[in-house]
């Protein structure tokens, strides 16, 4: 399907009315902390995780404002180097998902706490191959784990959330081993920062940032 972000402002507004309040959290109530998680490291360091949850502009914007996160890069994961371009990913046939690579200090925030942000405010984990007005497998919800420990923690938290019945629909997030992350084109990096008046950013992505500030103030960083 044609990328919804390319639609004229008027068309996007109509779609948002049809979809409802696009950026509100899908959970019925506050999400719990993961019961299975790593303790904060006693020393400063650098760890990485790769997440996919729809348009990478908004996911990037949210995690850039999470305490302990040191870097967020938009890119592609799930496909090959040959198809890691925006033009090919947008066809929905590349195997890639629009993703973000997040680097964080494990002495300040845990992997599990980052997953809490991901599931609560960064996207709707119950949508399969879609996020609000964007549809196609390139917008799927996925956690690309880089180690058995990351897989274990992600699987445990998904199970915890499912058992708590906090979502009206089953969680559709895929757990996929990370083979390679490919940086997106330069014009996609820091897109929300560079284009704060873009209609898509204003109506889809900035409300997620406000949800982070209000719902998880202990994790919010300006």
Catalytic residues: 55
Query: CA–CA distance from 13 to each of 35, 56, 71, 200, 206 (Å)?
Result: 40, 20, 32, 9, 15
Tokens of 133: 């007005």
* Residue showing tokens 């390139």: 138
Nearest to 217 by CA among 26, 23, 28, 30: 30
Which residues is 182 bridged to in the sheet? 76
37-42, Cβ contacts within 8 angstroms, sequence gap of 24 or more? 37/110, 37/111, 37/112, 37/113, 37/153, 37/157, 38/106, 38/110, 38/111, 38/112, 38/149, 38/153, 39/110, 40/106, 40/107, 40/108, 40/109, 40/110, 41/106, 41/107, 42/107
User: Three-class SS of residue 143?
Assistant: strand
């Amino acid at each position: 399907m044609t990328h919804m972000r390319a639609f004229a402002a008027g068309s996007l507004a109509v779609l948002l009315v049809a979809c409802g309040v696009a950026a509100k959290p899908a959970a019925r109530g506050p999400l719990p902390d993961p019961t299975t998680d790593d303790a904060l490291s006693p020393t400063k360091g650098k760890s990485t995780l790769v997440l996919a949850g729809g348009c990478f502009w908004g996911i990037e914007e949210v995690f850039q404002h999470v305490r302990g996160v040191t870097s967020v890069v938009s890119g592609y994961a799930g496909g090959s180097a040959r198809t890691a371009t925006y033009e090919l990913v947008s066809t929905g046939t590349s195997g890639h998902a629009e993703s973000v690579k997040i680097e964080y200090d494990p002495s300040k925030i845990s992997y599990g706490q980052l997953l809490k942000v991901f599931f609560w405010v960064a996207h709707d984990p119950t949508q399969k191959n879609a996020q609000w007005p964007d549809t196609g497998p390139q917008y799927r919800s996925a956690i690309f784990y880089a180690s058995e420990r990351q897989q274990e923690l992600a699987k445990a938290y998904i199970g915890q959330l499912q058992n708590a019945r906090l979502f009206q629909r089953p969680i559709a997030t895929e757990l996929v081993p990370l083979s390679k992350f490919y940086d997106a084109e330069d014009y996609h990096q820091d897109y929300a920062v560079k284009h704060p008046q873009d209609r898509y950013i204003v109506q889809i992505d900035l409300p997620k940032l406000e949800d982070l500030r209000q719902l998880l103030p202990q994790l919010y960083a300006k």
